[in-house]
Amino acid sequence: VPTTEAETEERITRADAAYHAALDVAPSVRAAWLDAVARSLEHHSPGLVALAARETSLGEDRLRGELRRTAFQLRLLGEEIEAGLNLQATIDHADPEWGMGPRPDIRRANVPLGVVGVFGASNFPFAFSVIGGDSASALAAGCAVVHKIHEGHPELGARVGEIVTSALEAAGAPAGIFSTITGQGAGGTLVDHPFVQAIGFTGSTRAGRMLFDRASRRPTPIPFYGELGSINPVFVAPSAWNSRRSPLIAGYVSSFTLGMGQFCTKPGVLIIPSGPVDDLREAIAEALGGRRWTPMLTPAIRRGYEENLSLVRGMAGVSVLIDGDGAESPSPTVLLASGAVVLDQPEILRTEMFGPATLVVQYEGPEQLLELASLFDGQLTATVHAEADDEVSELLRLIRERSGRLVWNGWPTGVSVTYAQQHGGPYPATTQPGSTSVGTAAIGRFMRPVAYESFPSSLLPPSIQDANPWGIVRRIDGGPLTIDDWKRDSR
């Protein structure tokens, strides 16, 4: 049942009130709220995993791992806000000798933006959905969240929403700090509402761009953190191809078929040295053997998959290496093209086949490899398989310019939640190339800096008071971002 206009309005208004009520809460309390949510998810794991498996056709093992990841992420973000790096607290004491003239006492810290609207993804019903990375990092930042449930898993979305809401309430968070809505109309209201200060979105380029435009056209435009489409090319140097072809093909097949190819980091193009096609077909067919296929996430995704697969397949010079069966649980399709064909039609590299299909491109020599690399639009990831003493500096330069994450001798699927992780990239991979939606740095998206000039310590937020009551990491007078008694082991 779609949320009505009036209900949506009410949830956003309550979220705004809850955000205000929670403004002065210490990071440790907020971290405890996130931990309470994690514990509740773990407690309800069996039922949630079964429900998710039924609605998404993703396997229970994978879903169990994804739920573990989701709980881990909540706790890691909690630890991060307790350390306080997200606040970027910076203190410049007054300095009469400052080079441009006397400097007053200036102190800056990040503050939460307010209500954040989050649009969940269908392909990670836990980790990128209701209480996935966007919601978790917005709550960690101190924002309130209104989440638009994805139509791909409506029952799971509602159930997780209830669990999160109850856990937060039981832990003492203000009512309304997290809520869910359903339906496209409600989603539109969320993007337009004056109380909403930022949007997190994971989904298709088409829907993402439409909502980005909507957010940018508002009387008061707001940041739109959209993670859209990505091809995630994999470049293989002759050295690697000659020395470890078989594990490369096995790894590639595992990576592009993971979750039926419905990963934003799925390797959509494998770029290898030219060579005999029959051997290649045989090796890929062998690697595909013995695997089981499942239905795709939603009818809409299936439709989009068929459309884009047909599009690429129909381009001049593109041939079929392995033909999928088009069943309800479709077996994968592998297309093939030469470097020359792709250079003639770069749009081949710009059409994401979201599902179990991929394209192999055979290149002729190192120059053509670089030419191909230069054709790509913005990407979440780009991967290189080579030896460390190969000449890859120009290739690395080209792909870095186009991607948020570079992988060496590995596979792009599997994005660990860490301090250094970067899950983002130039448009169309995302609408905000300076941000990440995975890892601790994701919190900063939902904060903004405020400077206090010449304030008495008692009127400052705790983050920048002299006594450092929260014991957080701070930057003092241009020094490093640290605290004197930082103890790595005590965390």
Which residues have CB under 8 Å from 24's CB, separation 6+?
Answer: none
Q: How far is the CB of 12 from its own copies (least distance, A)?
A: 16
φ, ψ for residue 60 (rounded to 5)? -65, -35
Question: What whole-number distance in Å separates Cα of residue 135 and Cα of residue 132?
Answer: 6
Active-site pick, 162, 227, 364, 401: 227
Q: How far is the CB of 325 from its own copies (least distance, A)?
A: 32
DSSP secondary structure of 289-316:
TT------S-HHHHHHHHHHHHHHHTST
Based on CB atoms, which residue is closest to its own copies, 132 or 356? 132
Closest residue by Cα to residue 222 from 380, 115, 108, 86: 115
Strands (E), 304-457: 319-322, 333-338, 357-363, 379-385, 403-408, 447-453
Q: How far is the CB of 77 from its own copies (least distance, A)?
A: 12
DSSP secondary structure of 192-235:
H-TTEEEEEEES-HHHHHHHHHHHHHSSS---EEEE-----EEE
Which residues have CB under 8 Å from 341's CB, separation 6+?
Answer: 315, 316, 317, 318, 348
Active-site pick, 264, 352, 387, 394: 264
Based on CB atoms, which residue is closest to its own copies, 314 or 458? 458
Q: How far is the CB of 279 from its own copies (least distance, A)?
A: 28
Closest residue by Cα to residue 3 from 148, 131, 128: 148
Q: How far is the CB of 256 from its own copies (least distance, A)?
A: 18
Based on CB atoms, which residue is closest to its own copies, 333 or 432? 432
227 is known as an active-site residue: yes
143 is known as an active-site residue: no
For the annotated catalytic residues, the residue numbers are: 227, 264
